[in-house]
Amino acid sequence: MEEGGPRLPLLNREAGQKPNNGSTWTHTGDDLSAEIPSLCNPHEVAKASWIESKKLWYIAGPAIFTAICQYSLGAITQTFAGHLGTIELAAVAIENSVIAGLAFGTMLGMGSALETLCGQAFGAGQIHMLGVYMQRSWIILNVTALFLSLVYIFAPPILKLFGQSDEISDLAGKFAIWMLPQLFAYALNFPIQKFLQSQSKVMAMAWISALALVLHIFLSWLFILKLGWGLAGAAVTLNLSWWIVVLGQLAYVVSGNCPGAWNGLSCQAFKDLGGFVRLSLASAVMLCLEFWYLMILIVLTGHLTNPEIEVDSISICMNLNGWEVMIALGFNAAVSVRVSNELGAGRPSAAKFAVVVVTLTSSVIGVFFMILVFLTKNDFPVLFTDSKAVMAAVTSLSTLLALTMLLNSVQPVLSGVAVGAGWQALVAYVNIGCYYIVGVPLGVLLGYKFNLGAKGIWSGMISGTLLQTFILLFITWRTDWNREAAEAEDRIKVWGGSVEPIADS
C-alpha cells in the first residue's frame, strides 16, 4: 500500500537520479528544490517557500497529529486521575513526568540516532539499510529498558531522595511498577517511528495513533470512573493503549508496506553494534538533557511549601505545554527528515532552505499559542482539577506558560536540525551549559533564596531555554551546509559498509 501525497524529488529517478553500482546513488541533472531563491525576487522566494512548506507539512501534519495522540494518552490519564483526588493527581503527574519521562526521553533520544542514519541513507538511495538499522536500535533499546526497569522498581526511595513527600512517593512508585509494560513499548515504538518517518510514511502512524487514542478515552472512562478501578484502571488502560500503537505500526511494516526497507529479520542487526551504541548514546544525552530539564522543574517544585498544590499546578501547566510541544516535535521530525534526506542526497542548499522555512513556520505557531494562553488563563484550569486552590495557582503561572510555549515552538525545531545533520554530541554540550550550569542554579536561587516559589524556579529555567535557543540559532546560521553534505556521504559509507543490498528479483 503506497501512501498518497507528493513524492519528494530525491526519490524520483526520472528527476535525474541514477543508481550507481546497485547500492549508492549519484545525482545527475539539476533539482530546482536545491536552489535557494534570490532574496531580491519576492516571487521566487514565495514560490520556493510554498513548495518547501508543502513538503514539510506533508511530513509535519501527520507527525504532529501522531505526537499529540500519543502524548494525549498520558495526559488524559493524568486528567482522569485529577478527578480521583489531589494525591492521585500528584502521584500520576510524578510518574508521568519523572519516571516515565526519564524512560521516554532516554528511548526517544536513543531512537533518534535512526533519524540521522535512516534519513541520510534514504536520501542517498541506500534503502536496504533502513530495516537493519531499526533492528539494531530494537536490540539496544530493549537492553536499555532492562536497566531502566530498576528505576521503576525503586521509584519510591529515589523520589524520596529528591525530597518528594512519603505519601506521593509511595503512590507514584506503586503506579510506576504497574507501568513497566509501557517501558518496553517505548523500546519498540521509537525505532519503528524513525524508520517510517525517514521514508515519509507518516499517515499510517497517524491513523494507528488516532485509533489508540479513541480507545484510550473510552477505556479510561470505563476502568477509572465507571468501574471504579482508580489508578489500577489507569495503568491497565495506558499500557494497553501504548501496545496497540506498537503492534499496529509493526503490522504495517511487516505487511509489505515498506518494500526494500524491510526485508525481514536479519543477523546483520548484531553487527557494528558498538558504533551504533555510541551514536545512540550521543542522541540520548542530547534529548534526555532536555526532557530531564522539565522533570527537574517538577522535582524542585516538590520541595516547596504545600507541595501538592505546587506540583499539581506545575503539572497542569506542563501538561498543556506538552501538547504544544508535540506540534513542535512534529516539525522537529519534518525538518530532521528534510535535512537528513537532502544532505544524504547531496543537496545542501535545499537542506538550508528547509531549515529557514520550518523555523519561521513554527515561530508563528508559537506566537499563536502564547496569545491563546493569555486569553484563556482564567478558564482552562477547570479542565484539569476541581480544586479552587490549584486553579488559582495555575492562573498565576499562565504568563510563564505562555512564554515557555513560544520558546518551545522554536527550540525543538533547532534540535531536529541537529539530529538531521548529526550534531548530537555538540548540542549535548550546549544543553549541559545552558540548562544545568545556567538554568537550574538560577531557578533554585530565585525559587528558594528569593522565596519566589514555583514562579522563581520556572523563571530561572526559562532563561536556560532562552540561552540554548539563541546558541542553536547561531550554530545553524553559521553552518557550512556543503561540508555537512560531504560528512553525510562519509557517514553513509561507514555505516553501510557491512550491509549488502537485497538483489532485485
CA distance linking residue 11 with residue 7, whole number of Å: 7
pLDDT exceeds cutoff 50 at 15: no
pLDDT of residue 494: 64
Q: Do the domain assignments include residue 286?
A: yes
What mean pLDDT do residues 433-448 have?
90
Mean per-residue pLDDT, 89-118: 82
Evaluate whether residue 150 is within a structural domain: yes
pLDDT of residue 265: 82
Q: Looking at the domain assignment, is residue 27 inside a domain?
A: no
Q: Strand, helix or coil at 497? A: coil
Question: What is residue 239's predicted lDDT score, i.e. its pLDDT?
Answer: 94
* Single-letter residue type at 162: F
Residue 247 — very low, low, confident or very high, per pLDDT cuts 50/70/90? Answer: very high
Return the CA Rg of the chain.
23
Q: Number of folded domains in the chain?
A: 1
Query: Domain for residue 24, yes or no?
Result: no
> Which of the pair, 504 or 190, is modelled with greater confidence?
190
Q: Is residue 73 part of a domain?
A: yes
For residue range 27-85, list pLDDT tens digits in order.
333 343 445 555 566 777 788 888 888 888 888 889 888 888 888 888 888 888 877 77
What is the bridge-based pairing of β-strands 24-27 and 17-20?
A: antiparallel
- The residue type found at 263 is N
Ramachandran region, residue 503 (left: φ > 0; alpha: ψ -120 to 50; beta: rest): beta
Q: What is the pLDDT of residue 496?
A: 54
DSSP 330: H
pTM: 0.72
Q: Is residue 26 part of a domain?
A: no
pLDDT tens readout for residues 106-134: 888 788 778 777 877 787 777 888 888 89
Residue 340 amino acid letter: S
Examine residue 101 and state whether it is found in any structural domain, yes or no. yes
Q: Which residue has the higher pLDDT, 505 or 171?
A: 171
Say what the pLDDT of residue 498 is.
47
In a domain, 394, yes or no: yes
- Burial code (b: 16+ CB inside 10 Å, e: under 16) for 104-121 equals bbbbbbbbbbbbbbbbbb
Contacts of 46 (CB under 8 A, 6+ apart): none
Residue 185: its pLDDT value, please? 95
Mean pLDDT of the chain: 80
Residue 178: band (very low, low, confident or very high) from pLDDT cuts 50, 70, 90: very high
Between 471 and 497, the higher pLDDT residue: 471
Higher pLDDT, 248 or 94: 248
Region 287-297 average pLDDT: 74
Question: Which pLDDT score, from 0 to 100, does residue 21 have?
Answer: 35
Q: Which domain holds residue 232?
A: 48-496
Helix, strand, coil % (nearest 5) of the chain? Answer: 80, 0, 20
**Which pLDDT value is given to residue 20?**
37
